[in-house]
């Protein structure tokens, strides 16, 4: 018996490419599809979580929103990996910088994803699991960023369960070399590990938690095109 459609994705495996780009924002998914993909087709719109499949320079690729936070990313990436035969998920989102070496609009590739979440509790492990990116995706993406001359940093990020905190702890993460914070990568990396699939988080610095510099919501939705093209070129190279 087929496990699709699911409560969250009204599609079939044939509707998705092997690689899915996942922004948090459904409107960013729509922007990417309309701006970069040829023959983009809407394949999901349950709860307004828009998903599209088309081609980029001849390579078939899908883009679908994940929503905000690890529970939401956990649901969508789990279903894509387990029920829709997706092999690779590249998160393309925004992050807040912890490091003074980063500037707003720089790109961060999450080699590892620290977290204050209890997401890994479900696996019943006798210790602490370290969520990491797939090396082949990370290496390919970093190489392309170098070729394009982008300001790109590779390192640890923090996937936080909280956007607003009573106890602001930027310094405690920064002193351990964590570059930036976002809210989805750790769950994505854990789902990929459990499913034997591949994942990578590519984030643009939308605001700096030390300097206070920030972008607007509209800029985050439509202007982080370097990150979008970097992800798409990574998908193309994987398909070549």
> Pick the catalytic residue: 25, 207, 226, 240?
207
Residue 161 among the catalytic residues: no
Structure tokens at 205: 């610095």
- Residue 95 makes CB contacts below 8 A (sequence gap 6+) with 108, 157, 180, 181, 182, 203, 204, 205, 206
Cα dihedral across residues 86, 19, 117, 218: positive or negative: negative
Dihedral pair phi/psi, residue 42, rounded to 5°: -70, 120
The DSSP code sequence of 192-221 is HHHHT-EEEEEEEEEEETTT--B--HHHHH
DSSP secondary structure code for residue 223 in this structure: S
The residues annotated as belonging to the active site are 207
């Amino acid at each position: 018996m087929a496990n699709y459609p699911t409560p969250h994705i009204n599609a079939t495996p044939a509707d998705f490419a092997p690689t899915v780009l996942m922004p948090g924002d459904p409107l960013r998914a729509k922007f990417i599809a309309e701006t970069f993909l040829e023959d983009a087709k809407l394949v999901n719109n349950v709860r307004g979580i828009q998903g599209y499949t088309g081609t980029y320079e001849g390579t078939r690729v899908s883009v679908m929103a994940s929503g905000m936070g690890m529970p939401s990313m956990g649901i969508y990436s789990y279903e894509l990996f387990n029920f829709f035969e997706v092999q690779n998920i590249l998160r393309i989102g925004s992050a807040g910088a912890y490091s003074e070496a980063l500037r707003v609009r720089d790109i961060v590739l999450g080699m590892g994803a620290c977290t204050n979440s209890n997401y890994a509790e479900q696996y019943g492990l006798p210790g602490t699991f370290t969520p990491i990116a797939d090396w082949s995706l990370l290496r390919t993406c970093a190489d392309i960023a170098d070729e394009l001359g982008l300001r790109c940093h590779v390192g640890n990020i923090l996937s936080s369960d909280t956007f607003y905190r009573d106890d602001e702890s930027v310094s405690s993460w920064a002193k351990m070399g964590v570059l930036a914070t976002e809210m989805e990568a750790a769950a994505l990396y854990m789902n990929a590990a459990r499913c034997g699939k591949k994942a990578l988080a590519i984030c643009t610095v939308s605001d700096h938690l030390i300097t206070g510099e920030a972008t607007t919501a509209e800029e985050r939705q439509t202007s982080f095109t370097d990150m979008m093209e970097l992800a798409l070129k990574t998908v193309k190279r994987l398909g070549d």
